[in-house]
Structure 1
C-alpha cells in the first residue's frame, strides 16, 4: 500500500524540487592571497602566477588553460585561443596584469630545459609539459599555502560569470564568451 498511496499523493502535482545549491565563487581577496603565494622570480612562481591570472581573467576551464600551446597565445593582441568542449574553439582576451605575468613567464620559459616543447606550461623539472592534472594539484597546493580550502580552476570560472552578471552583462554573451 505504501507505493500506491505515495503515487496517489504525488499525482496531479509536480515532483518536489531539490534545494538549489549555490555555486561557490572565489572572492577577490582570496585570489590575492593565492597570488601572494607566487611572489618571486623563479620559474615555478612565474608560471603559477601566469596560470592563476589566466583562470581569473578569462573564466576558462581547467583543460582550456592546461592544454594551451605556445601557438595558442598571441601576445600582440593579449589573447589566447582556447580549445573548448565539443570542438568549440574561441579566442579570449586578457588584461594587462595577465599579459605582464605571461610575458615574465615566457622569458623564464625560454631558458628552461623544455623550451623546445610546443606546450605552453612546462613542469619545473625535466623536459615535460605540465598537464591539466598537475595544474589542478598546483592550485590546491597554492590555495592551502594561502590558508584556503577548495581552490580549483572552476571557482574562477564561476566568479567570472558572477561578476559578468553583477555588471549587467547579457547571459547569451556570457555563454558565447565562456564557450
Structure 2
C-alpha cells in the first residue's frame, strides 16, 4: 500500500477549493521528481490546516479560508501553529510550518496569491533534545527478538542490521528496491533526500542476514512481482517505511527497549565514527549530509557521552 493516498488525504475537502489545489500541487511535485515521503509530508500539512480552519470557531475568517486556501491569513496559520504546539509538539509544528511554506510558495508561483501568508509567520522554536544513541546492548536485545526461521524474523533481522550497519534514514532503507542490492560487493544504493543517490557498504553479518531473507522471500508466491525489497508478512505487497516504523516499535516493546526508532542508529553511527577518529567529511558522504550543521546536530548526544567518559578518565576534582 502506498504511503501517499491522495484521495484519502483529500477526503472531506471536496466541497471547497482545497482538494483541487492539493491535487494540482501533487502533480507539480511529481513533475519535479519529489520523493513520495516528501510529497506526503507537504500535502499532509496543507490538508491538516484546511481541517483545522473548518473547526476553528474562534476566527470568523477561518470558515471562509477552510473553503479557499487563497484566503488564508497570517493569523489563521499562527492559530494552527499554536494548536500544533499544544496538541502535538514544537517539532511537529516546525515540520508543518516548512510544509506550508512550500504550499503557499506554490500558490504564489501559480499566480493565485500575490504574497505568501507565511512570510511573516515565525518558525516555532524547538528545544534541543539529546537523542539517545541505539548502542550495542539495546540492538542485541532487538536482534535476539528476531531469532527463528519465520519470514518475519528473517526480514526484521535484515532490516535492523542494515540500519545498525549503515546509519541510513528510515525512508532510505524502507524504500530499497531488490535492484539496489549488490550482494557481490556487499553494498546497496540508497535513494537519499533531494533525489541524491549514494552507495554504502555493509558487513558480513548484515550480508548473511540479507541472504537468508532473500532466500525466504524468493519462496513467497508472486514475490517476484514486487520490486521493493521488503514485503509484508501477509499478502504480496511492499512493507512501506511506516510499516517498518511500526515493526520497530513492536520489537522494542517485546524486547524491553523503549523508544525504538531508526534515527537512533543514525546517531549511533555518527558516535562510533567520531569515537574511532573518522573524518567528518567522509561521514557526511556516507550519511548523505550536504550541510556542515548536520554532523554537529546528529552527534550532539554522542559527543556529550564521549565528553562524560573523558571527564571520568581525567579525574578532575578527584585528586585531593
Normalised by the shorter chain, which TM-score bucket?
0.7 to 0.9
Quote the Cα distance in structure 1 between the aligned partners of 2:144 and 2:266. 20
What does the per-residue CA deviation read over 1:115-170, in whole Å, with 9 as the maximum and x for residues that have no partner?
11111000001110100000000001101111011001000011001100100111
Q: Does 1:85 align with 2:193?
A: yes
Per-residue deviation at 1:113? Answer: 2.6
Q: 5 Å matches for 1:81-160?
A: 81-116=189-224, 117-160=226-269
The alignment partner of 1:174 has SS state of: helix
Q: 5 Å matches for 1:1-179?
A: 21-116=129-224, 117-179=226-288
Quote the Cα distance in structure 1 between the aligned partners of 2:185 and 2:162. 15
Quote the Cα distance in structure 2 between the aligned partners of 1:68 and 1:118. 9
What does the per-residue CA deviation read over 1:53-104, in whole Å, with 9 as the maximum and x for residues that have no partner?
0000000000000000000000000101000001110000000000000000
Q: How many residues align?
A: 162
The alignment partner of 1:80 has SS state of: strand
Quote the Cα distance in structure 2 between the aligned partners of 1:21 and 1:148. 19
The alignment partner of 1:82 has SS state of: strand
TM-score w.r.t. length of structure 2: 0.50
The alignment partner of 2:189 has SS state of: strand
TM-score w.r.t. length of structure 1: 0.88
CA contact (8 A) 1:64 1:83 kept: yes
Quote the Cα distance in structure 1 between the aligned partners of 2:264 and 2:197. 21
Per-residue deviation at 1:177? Answer: 0.6
Q: Could you say what the CA RMSD is over the residues aligned between the two structures, in angstroms?
A: 1.2
Question: Which sections of structure 2, spanning at least 5 residues, go unmatched?
Answer: 1-125, 289-320
The alignment partner of 2:198 has SS state of: strand
Identify, as 1 or 2, the structure richer in helix.
2
Quote the Cα distance in structure 1 between the aligned partners of 2:215 and 2:239. 17
Per-residue deviation at 1:36? Answer: 0.5
Per-residue deviation at 1:21? Answer: 2.9
Structure with max Cα Rg? 2
The alignment partner of 2:263 has SS state of: helix
